[in-house]
């Protein structure tokens, strides 16, 4: 009898959900109810794979945190939907089929999978040895995290966000950048783990895991959206060329800061004693 390998059941369950709901999502035109089980399957499959590779995973270490990521996702993405009311960079075909309440409920259910998917993907990336190459990178030149430094971050974030809203056609990419500065300032103010804390040591591993995890999710979001209905399409000024699925190729760069924003939002909301929602990364000795 083969020895039991933790994670195999979770991986099998996740793959079964993906195998079932991926084709159904493309042929039934019921994405509003099929999106959630498809992406739940993705999160479970990746979690199981991470546990097989490392012996631990987000679901195994902190099941309550894993569950909490779903409600955390909903306001996290609705924030960017609010920005899009001004930007008009994407729209949902088929949204007219629903009342306002139905649209809100179905959209919220779908949005709830965003953070678990990104964090599970980042953990998978973090499980590969190549990420260790980024443990000793360039050190961020920050002498401290005093009030003036935090204020500077907040002002930069506010200026970038304001530019996005004032000149949406010219500054639309900044919608993904400005909140990083604002959330980083808030994390420092509340003594939560912040990106610049790690960069003081030259440790870029969390950055790389989140960046590549965000891109990984972005690829599957756009792939599974391609023949779905309802679905989203893009209206991106200047750089709407070279599409990979519905997304212009340069648009995938937005998934890098987006993953960072989700990480910082979780830092600010989740209980401090639980730690970060990624496999622990300790200090690198000099």
Average pLDDT over residues 104-130: 95
Say if strands 247-248 and 243-244 run parallel, antiparallel, or are unpaired: antiparallel
pLDDT band at 240 (very low <50, low <70, confident <90, very high): confident
Each residue's pLDDT tens digit, 121-170: 999 999 999 999 998 888 876 655 678 888 999 999 999 999 999 999 99
Average pLDDT, the chain: 90
> Does 282 fall in a domain?
no
Each residue's pLDDT tens digit, 161-177: 999 999 999 999 999 99
Say if strands 247-248 and 231-234 run parallel, antiparallel, or are unpaired: unpaired
- Residue 277: what pLDDT? 59
State the residue range of the domain holding 79. 8-274
> Does 280 fall in a domain?
no
> Does 202 fall in a domain?
yes
Range from 18-22, 44-48, 62-66, 259-263 carrying the lowest mean pLDDT: 62-66
> Does 284 fall in a domain?
no
DSSP string for residues in the chain: -PPP-TTHHHHHHHHHHHHHHHHHHHHSS-HHHHHHHHHHHHHHHHHHHHHHHHS--HHHH-HHHHHHHHHHHHHHHHHHHHHHHHH--EEEETGGGS-HHHHHHHHHHHHTTHHHHHHHHHHHHHTSGGGGGGSS-PPP------HHHHHHHHHHHHHHHHHHHHSHHHHGGGGGTHHHHHHHHHHHHTT---HHHHHTTT--HHHHHHHHHHHHHHHHHHHHHTT-SSEEEE--SS---SEETTEEGGGGGGHHHHHHHHHHHHHHHS-GGG--SS---PPPP-
Q: Provide the token pair at 178.
A: 């400005």
> Does 167 fall in a domain?
yes
Backbone dihedral angles phi then psi of residue 167, each to the nearest 5 degrees: -130, 70
> Does 171 fall in a domain?
yes
| Orientation angle between helical segments 100-111 and 31-54, nearest 10 degrees | 10
Radius of gyration in angstroms for the set of CA atoms belonging to the chain, rounded to a whole number: 19
Average pLDDT over residues 233-251: 94
Q: 278 pLDDT exceeds 70?
A: no
Look at the chain and report how many structural domains it folds into: 1
Q: What percent of the chain has pLDDT over 70?
A: 92
- Residue 27: what pLDDT? 95
> Does 103 fall in a domain?
yes
> Does 169 fall in a domain?
yes
Among 279, 138, 284, 264, smallest CA distance to 193 is for: 264
Average pLDDT over residues 27-50: 96
Q: Provide the token pair at 258.
A: 């987006």
């Amino acid at each position: 009898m083969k020895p039991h390998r933790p994670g195999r059941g979770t991986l099998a369950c996740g793959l079964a959900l993906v195998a079932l709901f991926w084709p159904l999502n493309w042929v039934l035109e019921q994405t509003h109810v099929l999106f959630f089980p498809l992406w739940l399957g993705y999160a479970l499959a990746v979690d199981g794979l991470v546990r097989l590779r490392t012996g631990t995973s987000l679901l195994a270490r902190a099941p309550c945190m894993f569950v909490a990521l779903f409600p955390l996702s909903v306001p996290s993405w609705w924030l960017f939907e609010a920005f899009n009311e001004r930007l008009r960079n994407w729209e949902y075909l088929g949204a007219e089929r629903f009342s306002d309440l139905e649209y809100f409920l179905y959209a919220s259910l779908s949005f709830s999978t965003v953070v678990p998917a990104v964090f599970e993907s980042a953990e998978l990336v973090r499980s590969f040895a190549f990420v260790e190459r980024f443990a000793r990178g360039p050190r961020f030149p920050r002498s401290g995290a005093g009030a003036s430094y935090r204020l500077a971050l907040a002002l930069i974030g506010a200026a970038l966000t304001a530019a996005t809203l004032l000149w949406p056609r010219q500054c639309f990419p900044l919608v993904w950048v400005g909140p990083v500065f604002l959330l980083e300032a808030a994390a420092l103010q509340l003594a939560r783990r912040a990106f610049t804390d790690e960069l003081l040591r030259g440790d870029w591993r969390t950055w790389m895991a989140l960046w590549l995890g965000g891109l990984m999710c972005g690829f599957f979001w756009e792939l599974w959206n391609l023949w779905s209905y309802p679905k989203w399409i893009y209206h991106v000024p200047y750089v709407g060329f070279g599409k990979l699925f519905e997304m212009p190729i340069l648009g995938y760069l937005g998934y890098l800061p987006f993953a960072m924003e989700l990480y910082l939002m979780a830092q600010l909301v989740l209980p401090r004693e639980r730690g970060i929602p990624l496999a622990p990364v300790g200090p690198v000795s000099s």
